[in-house]
A and B are shown apart, each in its own frame.
Chain A
């Protein structure tokens, strides 16, 4: 089954600094990869989605992610952090090994981003 690993359960950056949240997928190249964001006591919102069309994916709120096959990575970045970026971020991959095919998503354990004023 496909899986993703998020390194760093907590990340703190200063306001205006670069945000880098790490996600690595298991060895098989997935057809899709996702980043979702969750604000406190809310559901998840889609930040961005990778398909095979482009390795650099731009999402909402100034975030982007780059798919690197050689590193099995799909790290999320933002050039300049804003206080409103404080949230939990989840990487997700479809688990096409299940009977449900590629509509079942497997999520990473999440990274909580704190912004220091």
Chain B
């Protein structure tokens, strides 16, 4: 079945550590996105990528980094510079016409 796979589903991090969230899609979509979800704040865009080897900052990119070396993969690194990283992270992809397909999410907790 085609879809988006995010891993791990749950992740715990100590302060000062970098962590990488995986996002893989087999939908042959060109565009991929990372959103952060916090209670009461909806979804906020972190980074997005339209094509391989190209990506742009979203609204809250500080403390995060991404790469897009393959069409299928768009990993997100949460760096130690992100001061409040505890959140639910959602990866999505799309073809034209704006319809996003989402993964099941990764919940990051800082200990």
Contacts and interface: CB of A to CB of B under 8 A. Distances in A.
B99 A49 contact: yes
Interface stretch (B13-21, B69-77, B102-110): B102-110
Interface in A29-66: 32, 34, 36, 41-46, 49
A27 B86 CA distance: 34
Given A42-B104, A42-B105, A105 B42 contact: no
Interface stretch (A11-19, A69-77, A107-115): A107-115
Interface string A67-99: 000000000000000000000001000100001
A109 B44 CA distance: 9
B56 A99 contact: yes
Contacts, number: 58
Contacts of A36: 100
A35 B35 CA distance: 17
B84 interface: no
A34 B42 contact: no
B98 A32 contact: yes
A49 B56 CA distance: 25
Given A32-B97, A103-B98, A108-B42, A43 B48 contact: no
A5 to B, nearest CB: 11
Interface string B17-36: 00000000000000100010
Contacts of A102: 98
A90 B44 CA distance: 12
A9 interface: yes
A100 B48 CA distance: 9
Interface of B: 4, 6, 31, 35, 40-43, 45, 48, 50, 56, 58, 90, 92, 94, 96-100, 102-105, 107
Given A36-B100, A44-B100, 5 more contacts: A43-B105, A49-B98, A100-B56, A103-B50, A104-B45
15 contacts: A41-B105, A43-B102, A43-B105, A46-B99, A49-B98, A90-B42, A94-B98, A99-B56, A100-B48, A100-B50, A100-B56, A104-B58, A108-B42, A109-B42, A110-B42
